[in-house]
Amino acid sequence: IEADDPIIFFEPKRIYNGPFDGDPDKAALSWASHPKGEVPEGYYTVPLGKAEIVETGDELTIITYGTLVHVAQAAAKLTGIDAEIIDVRTLAPLDVTTLVDSVNKTGRCLIAHEATRFSGYGSELAATIQEHCFWNLEAPIERVAGWDTPYPHAFEWQYFPGQKRIAAGIRKVMEAE
């Protein structure tokens, strides 16, 4: 990370063993088996404050980050919805333009994050989308998050949003009038 200012870096430990898709009943795909992406030659940086559109779609925008990017991809595939999946990559500065453009295009938004629903970062994302996209929303913004309890390590699979919970959120947004 290249920045002159102090930063806080969140590293999702759940992806150490390979891309995690949120399904506790099967092992995550190993990194060796994971589809290879483009890696630039030589030194490169990922710009702070620039979100990445991981999947393009026209029916729904899913805004997420960290481990839940893979989970959201699996959930969208499970539902068959043509979802645009955005990895915000940096929480601050936030790439509002990419988020707003996508939600205005799809008219629907689901926000997935691991923090608690109450006071979690998804609340700030939802407020930002509401402020900028209100007249273009075809359904209420849906948030899929951790439960409003302290993190229970013994019940990790029930606490963190998995592909089934995100898929249920996708269906809820798509069925809303």
pTM of the model: 0.89
What is the Cα–Cα distance from 51 to 98, expressed in whole angstroms?
7
Task: Assign domain 13-175 to a CATH class.
Answer: alpha beta
Find tokens 């589809």 and name the residue.
Answer: 35
Q: Where are the domains of the chain?
A: 13-175
Residue 91, Cβ density class (10 Å: 0-12 exposed, 13-18 middle, ≥19 buried): middle
In which order are the strands placed within the sheet that holds 52-55? Answer: 52-55, 83-87, 60-64, 109-116, 142-146
d(CA 33, CA 104): 36
pLDDT tens over the chain, length 177 residues: 788 888 888 877 666 666 666 666 555 566 666 666 778 899 988 889 999 999 999 999 999 998 899 899 999 999 999 999 999 999 999 999 999 999 999 999 999 999 999 999 999 999 999 999 999 999 999 999 999 988 888 887 788 898 899 999 999 999 987
Report the distance separating Cα 56 and Cα 62, nearest Å: 10
State the pLDDT at residue 31: 62
CB 85 within 8 A of CB 55: yes
Residue 12's pLDDT is what? 73
Nearest to 144 by CA among 112, 170, 122, 103: 112
